Amino acid sequence: MRILTKLWRLFLFFALLAFAMNNSQPATVNWFFSYTWTAPMVIVVLVAFTCGAVVGVLAMTPSWWHHRSRANRLETPAAAAPPMTPATTPALPDVTQVRDGL
């Protein structure tokens, strides 16, 4: 299994290296108010990918917090549970009645 992981990482590295080498030509990004940014195409693509990933994580954060707080509320530790008193203890059937089928 470790050899497959290493082979996958090696393949991914060479694929990204080939992508970077094939997209090294300059690209110009035109912003508002006549502002332009010129950088290699691979940098522009990686910046766009990173910005998209950050926006996606930030969009999911409130939902993650909500689900985490709800899960924490549902998990009550045993020490926090109120002790059972004889009045709240469920009645167990008599062993002789269960054995005799009554």
pLDDT tier at 83, thresholds 50, 70, 90: low
Q: Which residues constitute the domain of residue 19?
A: 10-63
Q: What is the dihedral of CA 13, 15, 21, 24, to 10 degrees?
A: -100
CA-to-CA distance for 62 and 56, rounded, in angstroms?
A: 11
Is 52 within a domain?
yes
Nearest to 39 by CA among 20, 62, 17, 63: 20
At 57 the pLDDT is 94
Name which residue leads in pLDDT, 86 or 53.
53
Q: Structurally, how many domains does the chain consist of?
A: 1
Using CA atoms in the order 18, 23, 25, 27, what is the torsion angle rounded to 10 degrees?
A: -160
Under DSSP, the state recorded for 26 is: E
Alpha-carbon distance 85 to 91, whole Å?
12
Q: Is residue 22 part of a domain?
A: yes
Judge whether 79 lies within some domain: no
**Domain-located, residue 31:** yes
Residue 47 lies in a domain: yes
Of the listed ranges 25-29, 32-36, 83-87, the least confidently predicted one is 83-87
For residue 55, tell me if it sits in a domain: yes
pTM for the model stands at: 0.53
92 within some domain: no
Residue 98 lies in a domain: no
What mean pLDDT value characterizes the chain?
81
Tell me the pLDDT tens digit for each residue of 35-76. Answer: 898 988 888 888 898 999 999 999 999 998 888 888 888 876
Q: What is the rounded distance in angstroms from the CA atom of residue 87 to the CA atom of residue 79?
A: 20
